[in-house]
Amino acid sequence: MKKTDVRHENALGYVQKMLGYHFKQSKLLQQALTHRSYSALHNERFEFIGDSILNYSVAKMLFEAFPRLTEGELSRMRANLVNQDTLSQIAAELKVGDALLLGTGELKSGGFRRPSTLADAMEALFAAVSFDADFNTAEAVVRRLYAERIRHINPLNSGKDAKTLLQEALQARHMPLPKYRIVDQIGDVHNQQFIVQCDLGETGFQTEAAGHSRREAEQQTAKTALVWLEKNFPSAKNRKK
């Protein structure tokens, strides 16, 4: 087997591990990760189904998590969770780009990193799971991937999580984006804690937080950084007159 084939197989294994689902029909997984530039048997039709699965599953999670919110509020929160940015972030966490099958031109132009391509592949994966198993299994996959995100969103900010709010706050102040890095990992594989540092660069502020996943720790440290930023560099609406 060629090295490229081995890398692709390893990437497929990692994607399935992170999804929490192992495909019985590998051809469905392959098609979900095939770009139209690579083959006529690509993932665009899968996206159509995957989009519906994603929207329903996230809507139901929000409905359960925020019983006091109105339909409009829930809709705005869902929009922030199922958009291209969030889907491409999830795809990056799953290393979907490493498993994509792309045409030569698309590969050379960096298609494996393109947010729209990654987001489309995620939707296609949800559809592929439903075809390989059933709707409930696909919904369970979405729930696993979105559980922490929904746990950390602030309903007062249309469902935006702490990392997103911190990024927007820094951009509004014309400051560089934060840098996150893992400074330590504690415990065994099944009970691991990640210690993550958030560095606000030119401000000189750094903070650390712990979580049972890298994302959870990043969200916690972003919350602390956001509070510090607003206190020391208040936005126009919060400045004292």
Tell me what percent of the chain is helix, strand and coil, each rounded to the nearest 5: 65, 10, 25
Q: What is the pLDDT of residue 111?
A: 80
Higher-pLDDT residue of 24, 185: 24
**97-102 mean pLDDT:** 93
Q: What is the pLDDT of residue 139?
A: 98
**91-103 mean pLDDT:** 92
Q: What fold does the segment set 3-154 form as a domain? A: Ribonuclease iii, N-terminal Endonuclease Domain; Chain A (1.10.1520)
The model's pLDDT over 141-195, given as tens digits with 9 standing for 90+, comes to 999 999 988 988 877 776 678 888 899 899 999 999 999 999 998 877 666 788 9
Q: Which amino acid would we find at residue 164?
A: T
Taking the CA atoms of 128, 129, 133 and 139 in sequence, report the sign of the dihedral they define: negative
Closest to 215 (Cα-Cα) out of 107, 103, 120, 93: 93
Higher-pLDDT residue of 208, 113: 208
Q: What fold does the segment set 163-238 form as a domain? A: Double Stranded RNA Binding Domain (3.30.160)
Same fold: 3-154 with 163-238: no
Annotated binding site: 47, 120, 123
Pair of tokens at residue 45: 């039709």
In which order are the strands placed within the sheet that holds 179-186?
179-186, 193-199, 206-211
Catalytic residue among 51, 106, 139, 218: 51
Annotated binding site for Mg(2+): 47, 120, 123
Q: 51 catalytic, yes or no? A: yes
The model's pLDDT over 46-58, given as tens digits with 9 standing for 90+, comes to 999 999 999 999 9
Catalytic residue among 106, 123, 132, 139: 123
The model's pLDDT over 195-236, given as tens digits with 9 standing for 90+, comes to 999 999 989 999 999 887 788 889 889 989 999 998 999 876
The domain spans of the chain are 3-154, 163-238
**127-150 mean pLDDT:** 96
